[in-house]
Amino acid sequence: MLRRAGLVSKASLRNVPSNTTFRRFASTKTLKETLQDIIPAKQEQLKRLKAEHGQTVVGDVKVENIVGGMRGLKAMLWDASVLDPDEGIRFHGLTIPDCQASLPSAPGGKEMTAESMLWLLLTGQVPSEAQTRVLSRELAEKGDLPPFVRKLIDSLPKSLHPMTQLGIGVAALNHDSAFQAAYEKGMKKTEYWTHALDDCIDLVAKLPAIAARIYRNVYHPNNQLPAINKDLDLVGNYSAMLGYGGNHNLTEYLRLYIAIHGDHEGGNASAHTAHLVGSTLSDPYISYAAALYALAGPLHGLANQEVLRWQLAMQKEIGDNVTYDKIREYIWKTLKSGQVIPGYGHGVLRNPDPRFMALQQFCDAQPELNSSPIIQMVKKTSEVAPDVLKEHGKTKNPYPNVDATSGCVLYHYGLTEFKYYTVIFGVSRALGCVTQLVWARALGLPLERPKSYSIDALQKLAKKDL
């Protein structure tokens, strides 16, 4: 049906499973018009769910869930993506290969764009190329920073962590929040989502300019930031502002990286934080600034730079003659020292991360990456590490996750500033977080307020249950 509608080519659908279904749409509609059509049906679906199945039990709460960080607890609505332990992430039912086959790319490129992923996450529909181009133009036109935000970012000390600076810049955009202004004047609850959407589009549009300004200030203060090109997609402009606009392959890699990192269901720390803060009716800027500070933690968004440090240390120790046996010895050395192998294992996944596989396929297709010592070491490590970790016996998932390769590719292409890597992740993760901020307002989701217990209270409950 998609091909008959002229939305994607036959060739682009070759890798899509035959049982994959897509929704058809009117290709001339804007993003807001598309949402206006979709939201009433979704509201009715949620209403029926609450009325017919509100008392249905979907899982048992155990003491280990409460004291173990609520891991695995089924307690959150997040509609855009679902993470299956075996299959990995699906965006409205589409796998990463499905998205690569069907979502529009930038002119002259092959990888799906951030705009097309944002459209899919928000609407559940695959946008046409024309719709994607219109959204790209809108983001570019809204991408320039207000003078006071530029001045604020430029005033921050270079020694301040880039993620801290990113959160400050995003929070400052709250000064011009459409949602906050409309709320203060008084608006109907049915209008919440429209103003939230305005803020979210504005936030996504301005994130690259904030992130690039931080990169320039901290690492390349003498560089001139180029003006936003209204004819480029979001990531094309971001790459250019970083100073890598002439590197087509790096720009393509950033497009793929940002699209597939855009959402990973709602339970991860950054997404959950955005949802929690947003449930107080904080505007999207404040909500996402909070999410960025969750992302900045070592157990969340810093993993790819830890992988790179570990891989470079391995490279330094074993030298140019990289063999499977030497890698195996180094892995065992790391494990016996009491350290973990960064980039392996996942809180939910029990198979290789499809995001890792997508990035590795990108590497395999680029001659310069095929000859890169660090990239080839990553690939060989991914072939050796699972068996070692299985033998070690202390890892639930011995397979590589996306961080096993993501930072190493950036390093190869010359973006070697480790501390900045999480900022790129922050530009990406906004796609999923803002999506759910819009839908939380459209569906009228309430303030999030779980019940807490003390240790004594839990002990009493446990004894009572015996």
Instruction: Give the tens place of pLDDT for each residue, 352-402.
Output: 899 999 999 999 999 999 999 999 999 999 999 999 999 999 888 899 999
Q: What is the pLDDT of residue 86?
A: 84
Give 197's contacts (C-beta < 8 A, 6+ positions apart): 31, 32, 35, 438
pLDDT of residue 87: 86
Active-site residue flag, 403: yes
Q: Report pLDDT for 23.
A: 45
Q: State the pLDDT at residue 436.
A: 97
Q: 466: pLDDT confidence band, cut at 50, 70 and 90?
A: low
Residue 5 has pLDDT above 70, yes or no: no
Q: What secondary structure does DSSP assign to 121-164, as a single string?
A: HHHSSPPPHHHHHHHHHHHHHT-SPPHHHHHHHHHS-TTS-HHH
Q: Give residue-wise pLDDT tens across range 266-288.
A: 999 999 999 999 999 999 999 99
Of residues 443 and 13, which shows the higher confidence score? 443
Tokens in use for 386?
Answer: 């699972």
Instruction: Give the C-alpha separation, 346 to 397, whole Å.
Output: 6
Band the pLDDT of 346: cuts 50, 70, 90.
confident
Q: Residues 335, 341, 344, 348: is their CA dihedral positive or negative?
A: positive
Whether the predicted pLDDT of 28 surpasses 90:
no
The token pair at 272 is: 């959950």
Residue of 403, 412, 456, 465 marked catalytic? 403
What pLDDT is recorded for position 15? 44
As a whole number of angstroms, the distance between CA 371 and CA 363 comes to 10
Position 2 pLDDT exceeds 60? no
What's the chain's average pLDDT?
91
Which residue in the list 84, 144, 300, 392 is annotated as catalytic? 300
pLDDT (0 to 100) of residue 399: 92
**Residue 74 carries which side chain, given as an amino acid letter?**
K
User: Of how many residues is the chain composed?
Assistant: 466
Mean pLDDT, range 44-72, rounded to an integer: 92
| pLDDT classification of 303: cutoffs 50, 70, 90 | confident
The predicted model gives 76-80 an average pLDDT of: 93
pLDDT of 9: 39
Fold of the domain spanning 138-300+419-442: Citrate Synthase; domain 1 (1.10.580)
58: helix, strand or coil: coil
Q: Percentage of residues in the chain with pLDDT exceeding 90?
A: 81
| pLDDT class of 321 with cuts at 50, 70, 90 | confident
Give the end-to-end CA distance of the chain in Å, rounded to a whole number.
57
- The amino acid that residue 99 corresponds to is C
pLDDT band at 348 (very low <50, low <70, confident <90, very high): confident
Q: Binning pLDDT at 50, 70 and 90, where does residue 13 land?
A: very low
Query: Letter for the amino acid at 88?
Result: G
**Residue 19: pLDDT over 70:** no
Read off the pLDDT of each residue in 288-292 and give the average, rounded to a whole number. 98
The CATH number that domain 303-412 falls under is: 1.10.230.10
Alpha-carbon distance 243 to 224, whole Å? 9
CB burial string 269-295: b at 16+ within 10 A, e below: bbbbbbbbbbbebbbbbbbbbbbbbbb
pLDDT greater at residue 4 or residue 207: 207
Instruction: Give domain limits for the chain.
Output: 138-300+419-442, 303-412
pLDDT (tens digit per residue) in 107-166 = 999 999 999 999 999 999 999 999 999 999 999 999 999 999 999 999 999 999 999 999
With pLDDT > 70 as the criterion, what percentage of the chain qualifies?
94
**Catalytic site residue from 98, 346, 353, 412:** 346
145 Cβ contact partners less than 8 Å away, ≥ 6 residues apart: 153, 169, 206, 209, 210, 213
Q: Does residue 12 have a pLDDT over 80?
A: no
What is the pLDDT confidence band of residue 27, given thresholds at 50, 70 and 90? low
Taking the C-alpha atoms of residue 285 and residue 274, their distance in angstroms, rounded to an integer, is 10
Total-model pTM: 0.91
- Mean pLDDT is highest, among 9-13, 67-71, 104-108, for 104-108
pLDDT over threshold 80, residue 24 = no
As a whole number of angstroms, the distance between CA 111 and CA 96 comes to 11
